[in-house]
Amino acid sequence: MGGDGLDERVFATVKRLMDHGKGAWWLYLSRCEACGQHWLVAQEERIFDDYFLRRLAEDEAQSVISEHQWPDEFITYEGVLRIGQKLSSPCRFIDPLSPSLVWTAKDLRQERPDITAEEIAWLVGVTELEAFRLLSA
């Protein structure tokens, strides 16, 4: 949302209601206190440093709240990074073994053990050789 404080202004009224939990640290449900609209929020702070939001219908929000039934869009970290690649640009790290890159590579491998270094490289914006190094770190 930029460095001009837009995110603070948006989230001044959009309040977090419920975290997904279960290892999905990036995902939560919010509600705008001004208009009552529910939002599914993926806060990706490692690679893209972006928020990805989807407006939820009232019945979808109630399914999350009462049944812990979350929409699929942001349910995996890999999926969030894929959306990030479509809508944004990954941050460029000075340190090729930055902890954020290492954690992300390892989380992706844990989430999907058959993910390739080439896929990880594309998702985090590094070369395939750098992805191998991240996995070995």
In this structure, what are the phi and psi dihedrals at residue 24, rounded to the nearest 5 degrees?
-90, 70
Its domain, for residue 74, covers: 6-87
* Claim to verify: residue 10 and residue 62 sit in the same structural domain: yes
* Claim to verify: residue 111 and residue 60 sit in the same structural domain: no
Q: Over 90: is that where the pLDDT of 1 sits? A: no
* Claim to verify: residue 80 and residue 128 sit in the same structural domain: no
Task: Tell me the β-bridge partners of 29.
Answer: 18, 40
Distance between CA atoms of residues 137 and 135, nearest Å? 6
* Claim to verify: residue 68 and residue 104 sit in the same structural domain: no
Mean pLDDT of the chain: 93
Please name the residue that has the structure tokens 């053990």: 113
- Evaluate whether residue 14 is within a structural domain: yes
Distance between CA atoms of residues 130 and 42, nearest Å? 26
Among 8-12, 29-33, 72-76, 99-103, whose mean pLDDT is lowest? 8-12
pLDDT confidence of residue 3: 63
* Claim to verify: residue 57 and residue 17 sit in the same structural domain: yes
Residue 58, both tokens: 């009232």
* Claim to verify: residue 42 and residue 105 sit in the same structural domain: no
* Claim to verify: residue 54 and residue 111 sit in the same structural domain: no
Distance between CA atoms of residues 114 and 3, nearest Å? 37
